Amino acid sequence: METEGASSVTVRKTSCTPKAIIHQKFGTNACYKHEEVHESAENGCPGLAIVQKGPCLYRCTLQLPEITVVSGIFKKKKDAEQSAAELALEKLRITPATKSSSLPEAWDGLVSRVKYLFSEEFLSSLHPLSGHLRAALQREGHLAGLIPACAIAVFDATLSNLCKSIDPKVEANPFLIISYVMRAAAKLSGFIASSERELWIRRQNPYPPEIIELSSIQQNPNNSEIIVSPSNRQSGSPEILMVEAINIPCSLEKTVERVILNLTSSGYFLDVIAKQLGLLEAADLMISRPVGKASSETRLHFAAPKQYLLDISSDLLHAKEVRSFEGSLNARASYLSGQDIYGDAILATIGYTWRSKDLFYEDVSVKSYYRMLIGKTPSGLYRLSRGAILAAELPLAFTTNAKWKGSLPREMLCTFCRQHRLSQPMFSTLSSLEESSDSSQSHKKLRATDLVAKDTQHANGCVVTAGSKETVESGGSFRCEIKVYSKFQDLILECSPKESFKKQSDSVQNASLKVLLWLDIYFRDPNVPFERLKASADGLDIRFEPKIFVEAFMLCQSLHNVGHNEIEEGKLVYPNSVNVPNVLSGHGLRSLNIEGPDSGISPSNGSLSCVSYSASLVTEEHLREQLESSDDFEFEIASGAVNPHLESVLIQMSVDQSACFIVDLPPRELIFAAADDSARMLSLLSSKTCCLEYTIRLLRVTEPLEDRMEQALFSPPLSKQRVEYAVQSIKESCATTLVDFGCGSGSLLDSLLNYPTSLEKIAGVDLSQKSLTRAAKILNSKLNSTSGADTSCTPLKSAILYDGSVTDHDSRLCGFDIGTCLEVIEHMEEDQAHLFGNVALSYFRPKILIVSTPNYEYNVILQKSTLSTTEDDVDERNESQPCKFRNHDHKFEWTRAQFNCWATELATRHNYSVEFSGVGGSGDEPGFASQIAVFRRRAIPQEGYPELSDLEHRYQVIWEWTSSDRSRCYEILRKWFSCFG
Ligand code: SAH
Ligand code: MG
């Protein structure tokens, strides 16, 4: 997380620290001295100090003109300093409150600060502003020594804080500081000269030559005034330094373009920027606060509006209204900086720092401008954090930390709020225990807010309302509520998802993601109809204040996508709720070509896929420019984490296959944020046939935790052991017909073909189309290839796959010899599992039914041995905490007793016998890893099988294979119909 920049104090920090107050009052007359103290000496155990050296502690002595105070002992120097300052304030009877309420005192502070800035001492200091002073001394002619008021207003945080204490409006309009600086300067006439009309300030008497010399000698520690990198050095004239900057025209019709600033080692860089804007000199400029990252030195520079000068020279009262002065607001620049900016603006990273006396600079490209722009949108933040502007999408669902790639939702929400100058969001987590005993909504809210106030030092802003009562026993039922406030502390929105989580952090991430998703709907298209916005808010458990929301994001209207966007109306589809998958897929995807043999390893929902990809602009004229590429890009399947086109192609692929396809152009801001050379891209984009081409290669697929565990801990893998168990039972039973309930990708059916059995007809049912398609692919190639299944030694006549729910009826599966249902019931809700048992044993009534499901009691062993190396939150678990389920799709996992109860009850009711067994482990405590029940039919049911006339065909045939030997095929059919009596 980035830290709050010094110049952008949040609204909540209303009072200054004791040290800041001392500084305002005494400036350099306050002297702090530190001494290292030994912990044990203070503990009253002096003996220990000799034996054992503990951590270093500090005590601070503060000397002021009138008094000296000594602090207590602290781990950090700065805490000791604050404590000393606090003691001094106490002794001097200065309370922070009197300080801020006393306007004359604040004015005095401001005047003495301005005076200090023009002192000899300041000139040679390492302060971002002192660099300006030194550079100004080198200015030529009448400009020598003139400092633009805007530089003073912007580069001295102490001064701007003083101005804020005089006038809180400065917070909203930092340009007001200029007026205060000029007023303070006017009070110092004699010492400094100033021009209100021209907005500059100069020291009246020249600095003593030795001071100038001293500071300029220090300026060249390595004989170079400015560090000039070789690439920036112009041949022949090493004095000139070319720095790339961006011109953001006021008119939205004009494009953002690169400009080159030619800085000289002897000139003043603000003069160069002023000239670029067609101004005479630096004092005609205004400078914004930093834009982009909190630590950045990137600022916007623009012409000080004429009217502004008038306001200043007239009266400060008028100056307070400068927000509304005439002139053309630069929407793009204002949006970036959160300040009102007028006319054309130049975005540049040049300035002095606390670190060195050398000028600091960095190129700012068109690409970085667009990155800042999309970095203000929730999905843009996600794309940037993934380093995949064109491939990544803000995921629609949060599953686990381990699967989430890129910045976490909570972190992104905080960044978003900071970027939009909102207050930091408020997170309150509630446990369900707490909630049930607490019916009053308002009461609950009060409490959450209460805690925030008490808990402000909680760095991440996360507050647990339920306190320490629960966490362990509750089995985890955390819910999280988020509130987002404007900078004026007005509630913008409130999100309270109904879902509860085992882990507090998951509830926070889930709720944060919902807020981000909803905000993103607006940022993708600020013109989205209100009803749509409202409906999505409802779907995401969000309540918002339309008026305050619109106010907070007013400028987005003119910026995001509007006029940047090639996508036609109606093509963008937004999720109304997170559960609806993003449905862009199918739109505008062309010329798909998948290459390479099918390795059989394909991504499935919830697995992690890793791809290499590249995205390029292409035209029919065969022009091509690569925009973005990655050798290793991993994301969770079916969580919406990538461009839907990409995912829809990917799920058709298997590992080691490559694909190439073309899609419609994404919004321009994304293209420019990805492109290195915006000018070249512009020329390509001017072609009508320009589109975006992706090439991807599927590198690997990491299965969900369950599969990884099963493979890592069991040899052969647990899934193979289950299949082998089933095959063994099938062989022993001499069954000729088999149905696999919940066949998935057909692992059992496929394996069966490797063994000689008496099976003649096999069938599979599942409700996942994707799994069925995969199963069909595998079975089809095996049954139709000569080298595949050795069907000569098996009497197999037919294989069929159905799409349907195993809790539903379909008479085509009645009376089979054997039914299998491996690791399926835990994927249904418990009542559905009961329903399946009843349907299977009363309607389908196979002779034998084999059901397997995870043994929950075994999870302790699984998680002990794998989680420590594979999963995220080992440290958060402890012995008494319940184990996680093995797979996020599991609705339940039963203990042996629960499974026994389910099976025994079913068997009794439907006249079956049941035996228990399992695979994985020895079967001793805590039982097998997978528990298995084998049901055997005791007698043909009285009511018999359904009549032919009652044939129910609820399932849909997905794929069917029949042996070419027709006569044998008919024989089977006859046999099979004979079942119906
Ligand atoms: N039996 C397979 C797959 C297990 S995964 C194997 O052992 O490899 C669980 C499967 O159950 C998934 O493919 C899922 O689609 C399927 N499933 C879950 N509920 C179902 C239902 N009501 N009807 C049919 N299939 C179901
Ligand atoms: Mg399972």
Distance, CA 610 to ligand 2 centroid (Å)? 23
Angle of helix 409-419 versus helix 378-386 axis, rounded to 10: 120
Query: Cα separation of 181 and 201, whole Å?
Result: 9
Q: What pLDDT is recorded for position 575?
A: 33
The torsion angles phi and psi of 920, rounded to 5 degrees, stand at 90, 110
pLDDT at 845 over 80: yes
Distance, CA 788 to ligand 1 centroid (Å)? 25
Q: What is the pLDDT of residues 281-310, one digit of tens each?
A: 998 899 998 997 767 889 999 998 766 554
* Residue 454: strand, helix, or coil: helix
Looking at the CA of residue 805, tell me the nearest atom of ligand 1.
23
Q: What is the 3-state secondary structure (H, E, C) of 658-702?
A: EEEEEECCCCHHHHHHHCCCHHHHHHHHCCCCCEEEEEEEEEEEE
Instruction: Residue 631: count other Cβ atoms within 10 Å of its Cβ.
Output: 11
Residue type for 562, please? V
Q: Which segment of 79-93, 233-247, 349-363, 820-834 scores lowest on mean pLDDT?
A: 233-247
Ligand closest to 825 (CA) is: 1
Q: What pLDDT is recorded for position 91?
A: 79
Among 749, 767, 808, 887, which is best to mutate for testing ligand 1, by the most ligand atoms less than 8 A from CB?
767
Looking at the CA of residue 723, tell me the nearest atom of ligand 1.
7
Query: Cα separation of 684 and 618, whole Å?
Result: 8
- Exposure string (b/e) for 839-859, b if CB count within 10 Å is 16 or more? bbbebbbbbbbbbbbbbbbbb
Distance, CA 826 to ligand 2 centroid (Å)? 6
Quickly tell me which residue has 């400068």 as its tokens.
Answer: 322
Ligand closest to 853 (CA) is: 2
Ligand closest to 803 (CA) is: 1
Ligand closest to 604 (CA) is: 1
Ligand 1 atom 23, closest CA: 805
Q: What is the mean pLDDT of the chain?
A: 79
The CATH number of 736-804+957-981 is 3.40.50.150
Binding pocket residue ranges, ligand 1, CB within 6 Å? 742-744, 747, 765-768, 771, 805-807, 822-824, 827-828
Distance, CA 823 to ligand 2 centroid (Å)? 5
**Which DSSP string corresponds to 476-542?**
--EEEEEEEE-TT--EEEEE--S--BSSHHHHHHHHHHHHHHHHHHHHH-TT--HHHHHHHHHHTTE
Question: pLDDT-based confidence at 867, cuts 50/70/90?
Answer: very low
DSSP 141: G
Angle at Cα 268 formed by Cα 266 and Cα 270, nearest 5°?
155
End-to-end, the C-alpha distance of the chain in Å comes to 73
pLDDT at 797 over 50: yes
Distance, CA 827 to ligand 2 centroid (Å)? 6
List the one residue out of 159, 133, 131 whose CA is nearest residue 146.
133
pTM of structure: 0.61
Indicate the CATH number of 704-733+813-954 among 3.40.50.11030, 3.40.630.10, 3.40.50.150, 3.40.50.720: 3.40.50.150
Ligand closest to 742 (CA) is: 1
Query: Cα separation of 978 and 944, whole Å?
Result: 12
**Which DSSP string corresponds to 762-816?**
EEEEES-HHHHHHHHHHHHHHHHSSSS--TTSS---EEEEEES-TTS--GGGTT-
Q: What pLDDT is recorded for position 535?
A: 94
Ligand 1 atom 22, closest CA: 805
Q: What pLDDT is recorded for position 55?
A: 67
Q: What is the pLDDT of residues 534-580, one digit of tens each?
A: 999 999 999 999 999 988 888 777 676 544 333 333 333 333 323 33
Distance, CA 785 to ligand 1 centroid (Å)? 27
Helix (H) / strand (E) element for 968: namely helix 966-978
Distance, CA 777 to ligand 1 centroid (Å)? 17
- Catalogue the E-assigned strands of 116-196: 147-148, 192-195
Looking at the CA of residue 828, tell me the nearest atom of ligand 1.
19
CATH class of 582-702: alpha beta
Question: pLDDT-based confidence at 516, cuts 50/70/90?
Answer: very high
Query: Cα separation of 448 and 455, whole Å?
Result: 10
Query: Cα separation of 525 and 556, whole Å?
Result: 9
Q: Are 758 and 793 in contact (CB under 8 A)?
A: no
Query: Cα separation of 535 and 811, whole Å?
Result: 43
Looking at the CA of residue 823, tell me the nearest atom of ligand 1.
4
Q: What pLDDT is recorded for position 64?
A: 86
Distance, CA 850 to ligand 1 centroid (Å)? 14
Mean pLDDT within 898-917: 96
Among 827, 893, 919, 932, which is best to mutate for testing ligand 1, by the most ligand atoms less than 8 A from CB?
827
CA atoms 728, 732, 734, 735: torsion sign: negative
Angle at Cα 962 formed by Cα 956 and Cα 965, nearest 5°?
155
Residue type for 449, please? T
> What are the distances in angstroms from CA 839 to CA 476, 809, 822, 864, 975?
34, 7, 16, 37, 24
Looking at the CA of residue 768, tell me the nearest atom of ligand 1.
15
Q: What is the pLDDT of residues 113-124, one digit of tens each?
A: 999 999 988 988
Looking at the CA of residue 852, tell me the nearest atom of ligand 1.
7
Angle of helix 176-186 versus helix 306-314 axis, rounded to 10: 40
Distance, CA 929 to ligand 2 centroid (Å)? 12
Beta-bridged to residue 37, according to DSSP, are: 57
Residues with CB under 5 A from ligand 2 (ion): 823
Instruction: Residue 462: count other Cβ atoms within 10 Å of its Cβ.
Output: 18
Ligand closest to 833 (CA) is: 1
Helices (H), 352-489: 366-374, 378-386, 409-419, 432-436, 441-454
Looking at the CA of residue 827, tell me the nearest atom of ligand 1.
18
Distance, CA 616 to ligand 2 centroid (Å)? 40
Q: What pLDDT is recorded for position 414?
A: 93
Question: pLDDT-based confidence at 791, cuts 50/70/90?
Answer: low
Distance, CA 649 to ligand 1 centroid (Å)? 23
Instruction: Residue 547: count other Cβ atoms within 10 Å of its Cβ.
Output: 10
Query: Cα separation of 295 and 309, whole Å?
Result: 31
Ligand closest to 704 (CA) is: 2
List the one residue out of 572, 642, 631 whose CA is nearest residue 379.
642
Q: What is the pLDDT of residues 415-435, one digit of tens each?
A: 999 989 898 899 988 876 544
pLDDT at 794 over 80: no
Looking at the CA of residue 821, tell me the nearest atom of ligand 1.
1
Question: pLDDT-based confidence at 199, cuts 50/70/90?
Answer: confident
Among 719, 766, 834, which is best to mutate for testing ligand 1, by the most ligand atoms less than 8 A from CB?
766
Instruction: Residue 271: count other Cβ atoms within 10 Å of its Cβ.
Output: 24
Distance, CA 86 to ligand 2 centroid (Å)? 62
Mean pLDDT within 607-635: 93
Ligand 1 atom 9, closest CA: 824
Distance, CA 388 to ligand 2 centroid (Å)? 33
Could you tell me which residues come within 8 angstroms of residue 751 by beta carbon, excluding any fewer than 6 positions away? 723, 724, 727
Q: What pLDDT is recorded for position 413?
A: 97
- What's the burial of 65, exposed, middle or buried (CB within 10 Å: 0-12/13-18/19+)? exposed
Distance, CA 277 to ligand 1 centroid (Å)? 67
Residue extents of the structural domains in the chain = 4-16+96-371, 392-565, 582-702, 704-733+813-954, 736-804+957-981
Among 765, 768, 821, 887, which is best to mutate for testing ligand 1, by the most ligand atoms less than 8 A from CB?
768
Q: Are 872 and 402 in contact (CB under 8 A)?
A: yes
Q: Strand pairing of 192-195 and 200-203? A: antiparallel
Distance, CA 831 to ligand 1 centroid (Å)? 16
pLDDT at 786 over 60: no
Looking at the CA of residue 807, tell me the nearest atom of ligand 1.
22
Ligand 1 atom 12, closest CA: 744
Q: What is the pLDDT of residues 482-492, one digit of tens each?
A: 999 988 788 99
Ligand closest to 885 (CA) is: 2
- The reply to whether 582-702 and 704-733+813-954 are identical in fold is no
Ligand 1 atom 21, closest CA: 805
